[in-house]
Structure 1
Amino acid sequence: MEPLKHECGVAMIRLLKPLEYYREKYGTWMYGLNKLYLLMEKQHNRGQEGAGLACVKLEANPGEEYMFRERALGSGAITEIFGNVQGNFKDLTPEQLNDAEYAKKYLPFAGEVYMGHLRYSTTGKSGISYVHPFLRRNNWRAKNLALCGNFNMTNVDEIFARITADGQHPRKYADTYIMLEQVGHRLDREVERLYVQCEAEGLKGVDITHAIEERIDLANVLKTSSKEWDGGYVICGMTGSGESFAVRDPWGIRPAFWYMDDEIMVLASERPVIQTALNVPVESINELQPGQAILLNKAGKMRLAQINRAKEKKACSFERIYFSRGSDMDIYKERKLLGEKLVNPILKAIDYEVEHTVFSFIPNTAEVAFYGMLEGFDNYLNELKVRKIEELGHNPGHEELEKILSWRIRSEKVAIKDIKLRTFIAEGNSRNDLAAHVYDITYGSLVPHVDNLVIIDDSIVRGTTLKQSIISILDRLNPKKIVIVSSSPQVRYPDYYGIDMASMDQFIAFKAAIELLKERDMKDVIARAYHKSKNQTGLPKEQMVNYVKEIYAPFTNEEIAAKMVELLTPKGTRAKVEIVYQTLDGLHEACPSHTGDWYFSGDYPTPGGVKLVNQAFIDYIEKIYQF
């Protein structure tokens, strides 16, 4: 309903055979490049503000370029970057284009190591200079570094202060540049360590270069550079000499999956894209574990290394509810179960009038949860039918049976996403009027003033679209009652690990709780939470407590949901409106392996998250109130 942006998607490919092998077996030396395109296109849901790719060509001679990069902005960035890459080949003869040896020697992007990135900005920083991969250039092949990632760091300020105190000078105050500088600095030290070692062994000139590239250990580099990182991340990188890696945060917040056979190693943010791109079974795909890295050296030998000690796993549950594609086998089941677990609270909301209720969903990510909800209601109706038949006795009449067996759950496609609003109209009232028409309805899909309308969405964060458009447009059908259902719990807290919700006043749940405190003359709760938060600002982040929880503590979920209805229901709405939310227990039962729920519960997995939520609350209070 309200699209959340999420940073980001990654894809890596390491070819393990010479390019000629792929030309002979698959008809083209561009096998790796084509697979990277597929992996990125199948993950376009993860980033539509920009995209980039990088490539390393192994065994290039001195004076020949061996590291290539292409980046573009906008929703068509994937098409643009691959179009630009293909533009390098447009003047070739068919013989040249088909010649793997010629490509290897002369053509850009004809390499063995590839890395792709899809970007959604969650920091407000945009422009081509913020599009991954980032490059750190050097005359030593082994010191060249390309880096990209799906991440957000919570302690950029601390890291920036420390590395500048050490004499480093990042080009920009942004987490990606700072991480590039950190990893690059440790890579320099690793190369220099090996140089001294090789020189002591009597090696000289190009022999030293080759020996360094054969011995370099990126696990050392990652252990020393990532130990301070607080946040959710999957960071991918490759060096000019052909080493490549991907490392996951110790809490397992951001996802990564990999596959390897004797021809190729592939890594991506989502599992089904690897299945589709390579046509391999789900059982052959591995999940990168918390704190773990997958490392491939110049020769293509792979090893897994534990870079940081794994913490309690807090994999992001929003990945399952919303961000990842629903084509993953487990995600599909989980989303259906999220819908099924809402049956009882929905029954209560419609006063058990199933016969006079139409069920629908808000396009498109809630569709799978909608199917689960329907299955749950089918099961409920079947139990009801059995009870009614048993009440008829041993010899029920044909008409009595027919009447009971004809009961159906009524589902319709009620809401239709009709237009994409453009921002060329600046005047407020005109924009609001346009916003009210983002969705359209299917007229005649319910019986006016008789039927309830239940409509499911995957999340309600800000509530803006509900207020500006959806409730008003649904009310035109004249339902007796509108029940908006969220397959996820109430979003109450900011995210600092890669979702674009960082300030308190974005959340309709927070606004509702504040309004309830004011209405019930409980402003002292706000004051106490503020002062407790303010008093710990000088403490180390590891000692901080999330006092924002005290804002919600006096109220039940139902009380907050009822206040939300008041805040979101437009004037003149004729139908009664109710909002039904998933419970935290229901979420954990549906998604047992993804327990990261800090945006719902306030239980941040890292100290940096606790520090930032307190600061967000302090900023909000100091902007609104005077204490």
Structure 2
Amino acid sequence: MSDQLKHECGIALVRLRKPLEYYQEKYGTWQYGIQKLCLLMEKQHNRGQEGAGAASIKIDQQPGTKYIHRHRSNGNQPIKDVFDSIYGDLATVRATNPEKFEDAKWAKENVPFAGEVYLGHLRYGTFGRNSIDFVHPVKRENNWRSRNLVLAGNFNLTNVDELFNLLVSLGQSPSDYTDTVTILEKVGHYLDEENQLKFRQYKNEGYSSQAISPLIEENLDVQKVLASASRDWDGGYAIAGMFGHGDSFVMRDPWGIRPAYYYQDDEIVVVASERPVIQTALNVRAKDIKEIEPGNGVIIRKNGDVSEVPVRVPQKRRSCSFERIYFSRGSDKDIYLERKKLGQLLTPAILDSIDHDIANSVFSFIPNTAETAFYGMMEGVRNHLQEDKMRKIHDLNGEWTEEKLQEIISVEPRVEKIAVKDVKLRTFISGDEGRDDLVGHVYDVTYGIVRNDVDNLVIIDDSIVRGTTLKKSILRILDRLHPKKIVVVSSAPQIRYPDCYGIDMTRMGDFCAFNAAIALLKERNMAHIIDEVYQKCKAQENLPKEEVMNYVTEIYKPFTPEEISDKISEQLTPDDMHAEVKIVFQSVDNLHAACPENNGDWYFTGDYPTPGGNKVVNTSFINYVEGNTRRAY
């Protein structure tokens, strides 16, 4: 993606189902769980680079002994910082007790992070500040083990205001107005209630207070806690948590918006945001990894029992298609094939954009994440060319010469590495002074490949959101090659609406498709539609979210996708461009054909899976008209 967007966050949970001595004997180290957590987080580093954290729980530690450990970082290399701290703690203990350090039983009692349950998180901040206080895992502490809560998640809620007021109505005074604090306190409240209910039950049965604690730990109704806490949540989420006594869980939203996968065997249970991460970390097959079903939770009890249970009533599946287009690692077998299909399905539109002049066209991709879609695009071009060659040979009706045959079969698509990002240069681009000039040199181009004023240059990108990088940098860079025409192809459809479930896309004015539609309305004397939509949105401001309708779709209704694409091409073309510029977008129908199981498309269509989405898009439009740059939720 040439426009840098923040990814959804990533989660990793590891539960060892055997004593630490088992891993010491089989794998040569009791640090097996720490090592797997580190690998799971490193393999998901693409999901969050603003912060990272890891926590562990030691099960059945003696009173007075620390059993929850945590390290977090919001530095430039947060994963490295976290595990440097963890291994630094281990090195300190090893230095003072070298002869005991390798004893797994001794380590469990004396070494930080020598536990059975591990929770890791990678963060991109979409709500709240990026201070260390908002880096996951977050904690809610208590003197009773079963009331301690450690939580991390990949989530955004649209109704934090409602949930905050609910907490206040319960008598709480939440420490901050963010979805992280709100979720932590909601789960914590119902965890407290469940503990209190069990305490009264066992007290009435005559048990002593000391005897009650282990009974609560054995019989805590985790499913009930999660169902009660999440009853009013509106948004996308994959939330992982650990209770102080050793129960752990991962729960997924009812629409399946945010991803979560898990693997279990008799040694270990692992949960992560992406399937190939688990495959790599544990060297297991894709078929042995399960996707957590929408609305379900995977609960791992203190005794190691694992179950996937319903937490919320599942809704129509609307899994985020951006995960497939861009955010998730392309090493997943299904995602790889889907991205290739996205490129292949663009073939007819691409060929139309160059008047089917394959002989005088050069094909490439920017950035590297678009490479898989590029393979699919070229497969489609070659298939078309093959059919075209067969047709031309057939049309010869047997009256062919070697020269004519050679002329037909010699045409092949020209594939070149056109642009290479200069990573080192990017580190110097910080201040505003001279920034635009430096941005224009982030990519180096391969000179002499494109024939001046003869060749078309076709470049595929994952998606185009704002178009800022295209206009200020990429198009000018490509124009140095002096092509006749530059065709920029987006493997995603036009992004028209804000996301409110995890991606940092909240302001209407940031979207080049929206700006194009607004410009067309003004040019064609239809600006009254802007005011009409504004008035309809304002009229809904104080309605419950369940009654709000998305009226922003009316901004786009007068225009075809092609009209908006043409306007985007015009608006993103720099004034000093030599080449003609054409921008081609994927269609929504093609997106669904390529990613049939992950059809969440609200940022393209405005069809939000939850009521809160309609409220967010209307608020975003109101903010745009009123010149307000605040978040829409």
TM range (shorter): over 0.9
Residue type at the aligned position of 2:476:
S
Q: Distance in 2 between matches of 1:290 and 1:372?
A: 30
Residue 402 of structure 1, CA deviation = 2.8
TM-score calculated relative to the size of structure 2: 0.97
1:526 maps onto 2:503 in alignment: no
Q: How does 1:503-514 map to 2 (within 5 A)?
A: 503-514=507-518
Greater shift, 504-513 or 615-624, is seen at: 615-624
Match of 1:57 in 2: 58
Match of 2:420 in 1: 416
Say which of 344, 353, 365 aligns to 2:348. Answer: 344
Say which of 591, 595, 600 aligns to 2:595. Answer: 591
1:246 maps onto 2:244 in alignment: no
Match of 2:631 in 1: none
Match of 2:431 in 1: 425
> How large is the Cα RMSD of the aligned pairs?
1.2
Residue 423 of structure 1, CA deviation = 4.6
* Other structure's SS at 2:91 match: coil
Q: Contact conserved, 1:123 with 1:500, CA < 8 A, in 2?
A: no
Residue 163 of structure 1, CA deviation = 1.1
* Other structure's SS at 2:460 match: strand
1:140 maps onto 2:141 in alignment: no
Alignment length (residue pairs): 622
Q: Distance in 2 between matches of 1:545 and 1:556?
A: 22
Residue 356 of structure 1, CA deviation = 0.4
Residue 395 of structure 1, CA deviation = 6.2
Match of 1:8 in 2: 9
Residue type at the aligned position of 1:188:
D
The percentage of counterpart residues that share the same residue type is: 56
* Other structure's SS at 1:459 match: coil
Residue 403 of structure 1, CA deviation = 2.8
Q: Distance in 1 between matches of 2:32 and 2:288?
A: 20
1:371 maps onto 2:372 in alignment: no
1:496 maps onto 2:500 in alignment: yes
> Structure 2 unaligned runs (5+)?
629-633
Match of 2:89 in 1: 88
Match of 1:623 in 2: 627
Match of 2:79 in 1: 78
Match of 1:207 in 2: 211
Residue 421 of structure 1, CA deviation = 4.8
Q: Contact conserved, 1:245 with 1:295, CA < 8 A, in 2?
A: yes
Residue type at the aligned position of 1:190:
E
Residue 7 of structure 1, CA deviation = 2.7
1:69 maps onto 2:73 in alignment: no
Q: Distance in 1 between matches of 2:399 and 2:567?
A: 51
* Other structure's SS at 1:88 match: helix
1:288 maps onto 2:289 in alignment: no
1:120 maps onto 2:121 in alignment: no
Q: Distance in 1 between matches of 2:72 and 2:40?
A: 16
Greater shift, 159-168 or 28-37, is seen at: 159-168
Residue 217 of structure 1, CA deviation = 1.2
Q: Distance in 2 between matches of 1:170 and 1:514?
A: 41
* Other structure's SS at 2:24 match: helix
Q: Distance in 2 between matches of 1:355 and 1:97?
A: 68
Say which of 127, 131, 138 aligns to 2:135. Answer: 131
Q: Deviations over 1:529-550 (max 9, x none)?
A: 1111111122211111111000
Residue type at the aligned position of 2:267:
E
Residue 124 of structure 1, CA deviation = 5.5
Match of 1:556 in 2: 560
1:156 maps onto 2:160 in alignment: yes
Match of 2:189 in 1: 185
Q: Distance in 2 between matches of 1:341 and 1:28?
A: 50
Residue type at the aligned position of 1:59:
D
* Other structure's SS at 2:493 match: coil
Q: Contact conserved, 2:74 with 2:130, CA < 8 A, in 1?
A: no
* Other structure's SS at 1:71 match: strand
Q: Contact conserved, 1:257 with 1:270, CA < 8 A, in 2?
A: yes
Residue 128 of structure 1, CA deviation = 0.4
Residue 385 of structure 1, CA deviation = 1.3
Q: Contact conserved, 2:429 with 2:438, CA < 8 A, in 1?
A: no
Q: Deviations over 1:223-280 (max 9, x none)?
A: 1110000000001000110000010001100000000000000000000000000000
Q: Distance in 2 between matches of 1:421 and 1:489?
A: 31
Say which of 252, 259, 266 aligns to 2:270. Answer: 266
Q: Deviations over 1:75-120 (max 9, x none)?
A: 4111111111111121415542321111111111000000000001
* Other structure's SS at 2:368 match: coil
Q: Contact conserved, 1:6 with 1:121, CA < 8 A, in 2?
A: no
Residue 405 of structure 1, CA deviation = 2.1
Q: Contact conserved, 2:149 with 2:188, CA < 8 A, in 1?
A: yes
Residue 145 of structure 1, CA deviation = 0.4
Runs of 4+ more than 6 Å apart: none
Residue 204 of structure 1, CA deviation = 1.3
Match of 1:567 in 2: 571
Q: Distance in 1 between matches of 2:623 and 2:397?
A: 67
Residue type at the aligned position of 1:355:
A
Match of 1:333 in 2: 337
Q: Deviations over 1:445-483 (max 9, x none)?
A: 111111000000010000000110111111111101000
* Other structure's SS at 1:283 match: helix
Say which of 483, 489, 501 aligns to 2:487. Answer: 483
Cα gap change, 1:283 to 1:618, in 2 (>3 Å): same
Greater shift, 600-609 or 85-94, is seen at: 85-94
Match of 1:462 in 2: 466
Q: Distance in 2 between matches of 1:481 and 1:452?
A: 5
Residue 523 of structure 1, CA deviation = 0.9
> Structure 1 unaligned runs (5+)?
none
Q: How does 1:11-50 map to 2 (within 5 A)?
A: 11-50=12-51
Match of 1:402 in 2: 406
TM-score calculated relative to the size of structure 1: 0.98
Residue 623 of structure 1, CA deviation = 2.1
Residue type at the aligned position of 1:330:
D
Residue type at the aligned position of 1:472:
R
Residue type at the aligned position of 1:253:
I
* Other structure's SS at 1:253 match: coil
* Other structure's SS at 2:212 match: helix
* Other structure's SS at 1:115 match: strand
Residue type at the aligned position of 1:155:
N
